[in-house]
Amino acid sequence: MRRFPLLGILLLLAACSSGGDPEPDDGPTSSTPAILLETDTPSPDPAEPLAGDHRLGATLPDGAEVEYLLHAPPAVERGRPLPLVLVFHGSPGSPEDMARLTRFDALADDEGFLVVYPSSVGDPEEVGALLDRLTDVWPVDTRRVYAAGFSRGASTTYVLAEDLSRRIAAFAPVSGIQYGDFAPRSPVSLITFQGGRDEFASAFPAVNRQWARGARCDQPSTTEVTVAGGPARRSVAQCAAGTEHVVYHVERMGHVWPREATRIIWEFFAAHPHSRALPPVSRSGRPAR
């Protein structure tokens, strides 16, 4: 199983900002308050799915401990499978930071999906094991599992797009890159937001070309749009097995999560379910690939 190129990612991210991933100046306008939980201690999984915010923990088959925030919408109930969105934070950062930055929770309440913000998940095997845990406890529609991430979390998302494309239906890296040659193991759709003033800006074209080549995409069609109050270019390419590759290049955007991204990403996810359900877990506890 392929491991994250952590050293390269951390060195490049450290060069971006001595203060860590910046908060966007034009963040989402939702009035939902930031997540404030009463304790830092993870709770056990609830006996029945409960709406609201949960700080949970799990011991994975390899012995790794993972904590995560889970937000369940009012519509949650056993026997009614819901989409699941995994959202990965930057470095330094936390699940709370990512919930506050993206405001996915308010949208989840409106649209009826689960959101999970993992902390310190190390590699695709651990993410796969976390998915096994989540689908065992929560009513997850395994054809509608998605992943998004910001900055280093975007790099995580690219790695998952390569190694867990048979389990996760679509991906949304924002303001982040991947290194070296990579391609999805199964056809999946990907949407990304990239800023012309981002420290990674010079690397974005190569990342886009690499994904398009690996996903067997046609030449994209391009439309001029407005994102974050400024000019942007949206490129849409049709790829293998009916998947899509969508790139938003926002000319005057820096290293941020633009306020429009959350809803655009969800609408993209909703339009791209997986062609098949989640495969079973192997006897070793590792997800089938």
CATH code for position 201: 3.40.50.1820
Question: What pLDDT, on the 0 to 100 scale, is given for residue 267?
Answer: 99
Instruction: Return all residues near 252 (Cβ < 8 A) that are at least 6 apart.
Output: 195, 196, 197, 228, 230, 231
pLDDT (tens digit, 9 = 90+) per residue, 130-184? 999 999 999 999 999 999 999 999 999 999 999 999 999 999 999 999 877 788 8
Full domain range(s) for residue 258: 49-270
Task: List pLDDT tens digits, range 61-120.
Answer: 778 788 999 999 998 988 899 999 999 999 888 999 999 999 999 999 999 999 999 987
- Specify if 19 maps to a domain: no
Q: What share of the chain in percent tops pLDDT 90? A: 63
pTM above 0.85, yes or no: no
Would 238 be classed as within a structural domain?
yes
Count the domains in the chain. Answer: 1
